[in-house]
């Protein structure tokens, strides 16, 4: 083989090696881009997971607050019911006392106005005795 043909063969192989190197560089660049995209997606997912964890924590806090409010509402409702029952008992006592006082004053006033009514009650056939 002549040196020219040897040089041509070497040049051919070198050009093949160069084209394979360019191909591999292109593949490597694509792999880096995919890696960067994956990294971006991974960061997005991590951020989402962090936000979700914060959201879940906040939901749990709100559920605890709601449970506490429900407990306080139940306590207040119990107090209201107890006060309402107490008020009703007191109203009945007052009403009973007022009725008793009215009955007492009614009997006393009827005795003061018509003393002979008692006589008539004892002796109903003596209406003429009424004053």
Q: What is the pLDDT of residues 83-119, one digit of tens each?
A: 998 888 888 988 898 888 888 777 666 655 555 555 5
pLDDT score, position 53:
86
pLDDT of residue 14: 93
Q: What's the chain's average pLDDT?
A: 84
Residue 86: CB atoms within 10 A of its CB come to: 10
pLDDT, position 113: 55
As a whole-number percent, the residues of the chain with pLDDT over 90 amount to: 50
Residue 38 host element (H or E): helix 3-113
CA dist., res. 130 & res. 113, Å (int): 12
Length of the chain: 131
62-78 pLDDT per residue, tens: 999 999 999 999 999 99
C-beta separation of 116 from 110 below 8 A = no
Q: What are phi and psi of 103, to 5 degrees?
A: -65, -45
pLDDT for res 130: 47
More confident residue, 106 or 33: 33
Please tell me the predicted confidence (pLDDT) of residue 60: 93
User: What's the confidence (pLDDT) of residue 52?
Assistant: 87
What is d(CA 103, CA 74) in angstroms, rounded to the nearest whole number?
43
- Does the predicted model carry a pTM greater than 0.85? no
């Amino acid at each position: 083989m002549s040196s020219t043909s040897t040089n041509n063969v070497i040049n051919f192989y070198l050009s093949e090696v160069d084209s394979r190197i360019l191909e591999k560089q292109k593949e490597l660049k694509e792999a880096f881009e995919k890696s960067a995209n994956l990294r971006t997606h991974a960061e997005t997912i991590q951020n989402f997971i962090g936000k979700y964890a914060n959201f879940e924590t906040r939901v749990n806090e709100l559920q605890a607050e709601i449970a506490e409010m429900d407990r306080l509402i139940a306590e207040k409702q119990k107090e209201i019911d107890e006060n309402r029952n107490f008020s009703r008992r007191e109203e009945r006592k007052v009403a009973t006392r007022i009725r008793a006082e009215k009955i007492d004053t009614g009997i006393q006033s009827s005795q003061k106005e018509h003393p002979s009514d008692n006589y008539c009650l004892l002796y109903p056939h003596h209406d003429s005795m009424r004053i």
